[in-house]
Structure 1
Amino acid sequence: MKAAILVVLILLVLCYGFWAVLYWRRITSAVEESRVEDSPPLSRRSIVGKSLYVLPSRRQPTPTTATRSETEKWEEKADIFAPEKQTEHPRQIPPEKLDAVFGTPPADESNEPDPEGVPFGESAASDYEADMDQEMDREEDEENESQPPAGRLLAKGVQFEQIGEAYRTVAHEATPGEKKKQRVGRTLVELEQTDMFEAIVSASPEGADKVYDLMNFYLKAYYRRIAERAAESPPPQVSAPEDFDVQNYV
């Protein structure tokens, strides 16, 4: 009997709990619905950041054809702009015309290299100016002797007569003298790595060998003079101090 009463009480408690849950959910949903109904609807202006700009209509205008007015006078204007400068390639002497340009001059003309530093069409300078010119030439020659042979092209240019002499020596002379070999060898050293150097080499079948011999002859004489000058002026002898010790500077 007691067991039956206990079971009934448990069932009543469970039913009450189930009913309490349902009742609580119903009250909560009713409160939320009343809140939604009481809140006023949002207007467009209350939205933060909403743009009020109204886009215009995207109608495309109809293109019109340009027509010439009857009273308008059309005149062609001359071009006032300067023409574009055309790039000109450096002129080169064709190999077949080298003899005509650098060939042997006529008997009544001299084509020897002009002495350097002599102005054309000017009166003789005074003794003082002549001495100054000689001094400047001597200093310039000493500076050129101290430079490598290939760098002298920057200090002194090669004259047309010197190029002609080099071409005639390579193309037509078999045994030039020692002075001419030195002059021509120096000219060829200064013309090295230029188009004219290649033209002189191709002046004769043995041009490459002749050019090599002339340049070698000049370079040997050049370095021989440098060695002789170095031997004539020995380096100065400087005595070290008595208390000098190299360990103090290491």
Structure 2
Amino acid sequence: MQDLVIQGFTPPLRLADFRLAAFDMDSTLISIECIDEIAAVAGRGAEVAAITEAAMRGEISDFKDSLRRRLALLQGVPASVLEHVLRERLQFNPGARELCAALKAAGLKLLLVSGGFTYFTSYVAEQLGMDFVRSNELELADGRLTGGLVMQAWGEICDGEEKRRMLLQCCAELGCQPSQAMAVGDGANDLPMMSVAGLSVAYHAKPKVREQAMVAINQGGLQSLLGLLQ
């Protein structure tokens, strides 16, 4: 497998032509799938991880259903597990900080859009200087996960279609075209936003995502994307 695969356009690209960069979180900006780590700490890892893998590969077409199934398995898990995962297991992928810093320095706005959870996206967004964030909020009762999510003003579950809608909403707010946005992800639920962006980047991604992206980074860090942008 080639380290960097370019398809669908001829470089070089001009960084100045872009106004927005949208990022998935789990397995893209960070090295873990947070829901799998929560399940692993709680002793329910194998079953949850299997559903996550199938969903990210596109073998389960309904992301909302797959998320609800995984959350149901976490009912009753102490909220303290979230803190443990954040402090002990969450690590940024190589080049994440460098790429985001370079894009911000070039004047781009950054969007973090995740099928993961606000407990983690809040931290990642603060660390990387995100301008927009959309993700799911875990419901807690008596210090434990209920197995459900909190309804937010925009809806309950950030799935692939919501990622796409959020990218388009941010473009409208910035007064730019979707062709002036780049989208970076690794799983099947990133494909809708990648399909409307001017540049789609698959990072250490599932086969279905690698095949459809304009750029696939298969080895090394996220900062390698900067080599394509002048």
TM-score, normalisation: structure 2: 0.22
Task: Report the structure, 1 or 2, having the larger helix content.
Answer: 1
TM-score, normalisation: structure 1: 0.21
Task: Determine which structure has more spread, i.e. the larger CA radius of gyration.
Answer: 1
